Amino acid sequence: MPCPSETSEDAVRGGSSDTHVRDADEVSSAASIRGDRRGAGGGVPPLLIEETTAPSARNRPRPRVGWIAKAAAWLARIGADPADDEEVRQKKALLVRLAVLIAPVSVVWGILYLALGSAVGIAPLVYCVISVASLVVFARTKNFRFFLVVQLLDILVAPTAGGQMLVGGFLPSGAVGLWGILAPLGALVFLEVRQAVRWFVAFLFVFLLTGILGELLFANADLPLWFTSTMLALNIVGAASIAFMLLATFAHQRNEALAALRVEQEKSEALLVNVLPGSIAARLKATDRTIADHFDATSILFADVVDFTPLSQRLPPAEMVDILDRLFSHFDALVERHGLEKIKTVGDCYMAAAGVPDPHADHARRAALLALDMREAVATSAVAGREGLELRIGINSGPVVAGVIGRKRFIYDLWSDAVNTASRMESHGTPGEIQITRETYELLKDEFVCTRRGTILVKGKGEMETWYLVGPRSDDGRTDLGIEAESAGNHHRDRR
């Protein structure tokens, strides 16, 4: 049994023709039988078989490419080097097109002058020879610098010294010297602005010098007035057209560069905002001074995945990173929803803060709601693509110093005893619980149900009284779970 690909290919390439041949043979056979039955003189007309099958993909006519497009593509390959970047390729192609465009104009100009008996017609022909010769050398050597300098010098000197001066000055030459302006304009497109200024100064010097010398040293060419007037108009139109094309190309390149710069700037700003808070990123772009701020009222949250280190040792690296990516991406969305600021992640530990860099009077409430949502998301759904994960969360409230540190891979970070205590609340906490300090409890006790854990020994702090955050109070004053939790806490205090 043939494979599907072979069957399909046969159908495209030859299926229609084979069917046609079989039909033709069958029809011919049937006609022969009927003819035999009717006899030779039966007058049965011959059967005409028409090709009704669609042309195959191989025989389908291809769209024709215009000769202008073909010529432009061929010209673009002159002097091209695989090592060139996009900008150099565009510059090479543009200069080749300009040289090819001006060369036939110079030939026409030379023929016209020679036809009227003026030997000045040799000058534009010399220009054409030099231009074509430099084009041939460029095609062989791919030396763009040499090709550019020869073209600029050629268009600068030939119309002025070879045309304007020899004819007798500015007006008798029909302003042919205006073609020399293409030299500084070309330099503006292909070179640096400082170099283009030098070419412009050179054009002014050569144009004025050859015009004055032509007026003083050379007699006016014996040319009809109508010819001089026509050449004046043609020279102005021709030079202006090429000049406009150069300026249009320059403007197009500038607009493309600005558009690309804007895109890259937007990417950089988006990346900066992903690394730093928006207000801090704006300050960092506006000044080089060190960014350091003091905030009196903040709440700091640390969340850690319980027993993730032994779990990571059993998982492939890609799966471990995928779990953390899903989990922390979900936490990022929760942070944005509750109006906190993500500070950083260290391993499987997630740090966020409320009240920085923008102060909020309800900073403790924001941190509490975030902690509850984080715990619920992990406990009730496989948000990280893996069930059975638990969080250990710690919250503390107090003053902090916030700022940007480093020159490479800089980070917006927080420092204070309040930050260290919040970290201790997480590390000395209980899996599945949100442990808070007295400072945070005092800010939350009217809106949230908390159960007293008691006094624990905290590394670097000694004994501390802590609470577990249970949830927000319901309309009647407390959650159902909170009634039992607070009762257990009160009973615990009574026993003490």
Region 385-401: mean pLDDT is 88
Given a cut of 80, is residue 373 above it in pLDDT?
yes
Identify the pLDDT of residue 471.
Answer: 95
Identify the pLDDT of residue 55.
Answer: 45
Long-range contacts of 68-74 (CB under 8 A, 24+ apart): 72/97
Residue of higher predicted confidence among 383 and 356 = 356
Identify the pLDDT of residue 64.
Answer: 52
What is the C-alpha to C-alpha distance for residues 81 and 427, in angstroms, rounded to an integer? 62
Residue of higher predicted confidence among 270 and 447 = 447
Region 460-477: mean pLDDT is 85
Helix axis angle, 122-141 to 144-157, nearest 10°: 170
Give the CATH fold of the 291-495 domain: Alpha-Beta Plaits (3.30.70)
Region 376-387: mean pLDDT is 73
Residue 99 near residue 119 (C-beta atoms within 8 A): no
Identify the pLDDT of residue 391.
Answer: 94
Residue 428 near residue 387 (C-beta atoms within 8 A): no
Given a cut of 50, is residue 493 above it in pLDDT?
no
Region 399-426: mean pLDDT is 90
Region 192-219: mean pLDDT is 93
Identify the pLDDT of residue 136.
Answer: 95
Given a cut of 80, is residue 45 above it in pLDDT?
no
Region 145-170: mean pLDDT is 92
Residue 61 near residue 53 (C-beta atoms within 8 A): no
Identify the pLDDT of residue 494.
Answer: 41
Identify the pLDDT of residue 285.
Answer: 76
Per the omega criterion (within 30 degrees of 0), is the bond before 357 cis?
A: yes
> Hey, which of 8-22, 296-310, 382-396 has the most confident mean pLDDT?
296-310
Choice among 123-127, 138-142, 211-215, 478-482 with the minimum mean pLDDT: 478-482
Region 260-268: mean pLDDT is 88
Identify the pLDDT of residue 59.
Answer: 52
pLDDT band at 382 (very low <50, low <70, confident <90, very high): low
- The whole-angstrom distance between residue 392's C-alpha and the CA centroid of its chain comes to 41
Sort strands 349-354 and 411-415 into parallel, antiparallel or unpaired: unpaired
Given a cut of 90, is residue 150 above it in pLDDT?
yes
Choice among 4-8, 250-254, 384-388 with the minimum mean pLDDT: 4-8
Identify the pLDDT of residue 386.
Answer: 66
pLDDT band at 233 (very low <50, low <70, confident <90, very high): very high
Identify the pLDDT of residue 54.
Answer: 44
Residue 357 near residue 291 (C-beta atoms within 8 A): no
Task: State the span(s) of the chain assigned CATH 3.30.70.1230.
Answer: 291-495
Given a cut of 60, is residue 208 above it in pLDDT?
yes
Average pLDDT, the chain: 82
Q: Would you call 57 helix, strand, or coil by DSSP? A: coil
Sort strands 434-437 and 391-405 into parallel, antiparallel or unpaired: parallel
Identify the pLDDT of residue 277.
Answer: 80
Given a cut of 70, is residue 13 above it in pLDDT?
no
pLDDT band at 267 (very low <50, low <70, confident <90, very high): confident
How many residues in the chain?
496
Region 317-326: mean pLDDT is 90
Identify the pLDDT of residue 61.
Answer: 52
pLDDT band at 24 (very low <50, low <70, confident <90, very high): very low
Q: What is the DSSP letter of 265?
A: H
Choice among 139-153, 233-247, 369-383 with the minimum mean pLDDT: 369-383
- In this prediction the pTM is 0.55
pLDDT band at 107 (very low <50, low <70, confident <90, very high): very high
Tokens encoding 233:
């108009």
Q: Would you call 307 helix, strand, or coil by DSSP? A: coil
Identify the pLDDT of residue 278.
Answer: 78
Residue 189 near residue 249 (C-beta atoms within 8 A): yes
Identify the pLDDT of residue 28.
Answer: 43
Residue of higher predicted confidence among 244 and 478 = 244
pLDDT band at 486 (very low <50, low <70, confident <90, very high): very low
CA atoms within 13 A on the CB side of 444: 33
Identify the pLDDT of residue 383.
Answer: 66
Identify the pLDDT of residue 385.
Answer: 59
Identify the pLDDT of residue 44.
Answer: 39
Residue 181 near residue 159 (C-beta atoms within 8 A): no
Residue 426 near residue 302 (C-beta atoms within 8 A): yes
What is the C-alpha to C-alpha distance for residues 253 and 237, in angstroms, rounded to an integer? 24
What is the C-alpha to C-alpha distance for residues 299 and 396, in angstroms, rounded to an integer? 6
> Amino acid identity of 15?
G
What is the C-alpha to C-alpha distance for residues 130 and 159, in angstroms, rounded to an integer? 13
CB atoms within 10 A of CB 303: 26
Residue of higher predicted confidence among 159 and 24 = 159
Residue of higher predicted confidence among 61 and 320 = 320
pLDDT band at 492 (very low <50, low <70, confident <90, very high): very low
Given a cut of 70, is residue 27 above it in pLDDT?
no
What is the C-alpha to C-alpha distance for residues 215 and 249, in angstroms, rounded to an integer? 36
Given a cut of 60, is residue 4 above it in pLDDT?
no
Given a cut of 80, is residue 456 above it in pLDDT?
yes
